[in-house]
Amino acid sequence: MSQNLYSTIIGTGSYIPTKRVKNEDFLNHTFFEADGEPLEKDNAYIIQKFEEITTIKERRYVEDNQLTSEIAYEAASKAIKDAGIDKESLDHIIVAHNFGDVKAGSNRTDMVPSLAARVKFKLGIENPFCVAYDMAFGCPGWLQAVIQADCFIKTGIAKRVLVIGADVLSRISDPHDRDSMIYADGAGATILEGKESSEPIGILAHQTRSDTLEYAKMLYMEKSFKKDYKNPEDIFLKMNGRRLYQYALERVPQAIYNCLEKSNTPIEEMKKLLIHQANGKMDEAIIKRLYKLYGKREVPEYAMPMSISWMGNSSVATIPTLLDLILKDEMQSHDLSSGDTIVFASVGAGMNINAVTYKLP
């Protein structure tokens, strides 16, 4: 029987910050509307409604002495150890992020050299042909880097690729915008390797789309909602939450459906959907719409592992962190075994959507 080359994940690692920031920690914040007017409701009510809508109860922040490249390195080190490989055998290091290194007390991004170069330096890799570069693709960045790694492996450009997703969103969120409660920090890493197989394994198919004509400004950078903010030139991450919610519901289920069809995978064979998590209620609606596309009203129990309630939205780190936790048996009621088929899916700034069908070897 003929053998084909597939991209498989051979190691995972993650870094989850230890600082827990609960919803009640925002009770003393001063929130404003986009026009600079104070919110009419008190913070207790705002926080209650926020939790009902997003399902977020707490999130994780890095310590003041930590940077995005440093937590990316921590996750990468764990992935290399998990894979049991020589770090010098890596052909590419891709770091997906959106804001570079932002120091505590600052709002300035630092991306020279690239975060991937910084990670390679910290790993002590001597091999000059291990190519290190960054990926900026909004929240779907880690998954898009995985798709790129798959292309490198299948075309013979690379044999092993380290893909990292890391962001520190706590330093680019406006403390006077209620949406700041969504954002969190974290890092996740995976190592992909080409493997010959007579049966389909690893990455079976992928789907990506960029809807920039109408939706490029759904997420954007702008000044603080507080008119007399201490540093008036600082800019923060902003979003049009309602339009983004509707956009995701209309397009993400179809993208996942297309990816499953492309890989000839029936929905019954999808054991888990590992989806980017910015809003718990939104993700629940997405998976329900996905099953409706197949004429099914019920979603199987435990089909979509969720970490947002205690980790918040860590952008590009969400999916690789979630995968690592499941594979390390750290997600209650969730497990994965050889032969299981899962789907990765994400949506974010761009607006970009992507999905990958993956079968565990």
With a cut of 80, say whether residue 64 has pLDDT above it: yes
Please state the pTM of the whole predicted model: 0.96
With a cut of 70, say whether residue 264 has pLDDT above it: yes
For 101-122, what is each residue's pLDDT tens digit?
999 988 889 999 999 999 999 9
- pLDDT at site 2: 81
- pLDDT at site 1: 66
User: Which superfamily does CATH assign the domain made up of 4-197 to?
Assistant: Thiolase/Chalcone synthase (3.40.47.10)
Looking at domain 202-359, its CATH class is alpha beta
The answer to whether 161 touches 83, Cβ cutoff 8 Å, is: no
- pLDDT at site 107: 86
Topology match between the domains 4-197 and 202-359: yes
Q: CA–CA separation, 14 vs 124, rounded Å?
A: 19
Q: CA–CA separation, 160 vs 85, rounded Å?
A: 10
Going by pLDDT thresholds of 50, 70 and 90, the confidence category of residue 231 is confident
The answer to whether 350 touches 276, Cβ cutoff 8 Å, is: no
For 235-244, what is each residue's pLDDT tens digit?
999 999 889 9
Sequence ranges of the domains in the chain: 4-197, 202-359
> 3-class DSSP state for residue 332?
coil
Q: CA–CA separation, 84 vs 68, rounded Å?
A: 24
Q: CA–CA separation, 345 vs 89, rounded Å?
A: 29
For 125-154, what is each residue's pLDDT tens digit?
999 999 999 999 999 999 999 999 999 999
The answer to whether 193 touches 8, Cβ cutoff 8 Å, is: yes
In total, the chain counts a number of residues equal to: 361
Q: How many helices (H) and strands (E) does the chain have?
A: 9, 13
Q: What percent of the chain has pLDDT over 70?
A: 100
Lowest mean pLDDT among 11-15, 40-44, 230-234, 278-282: 230-234
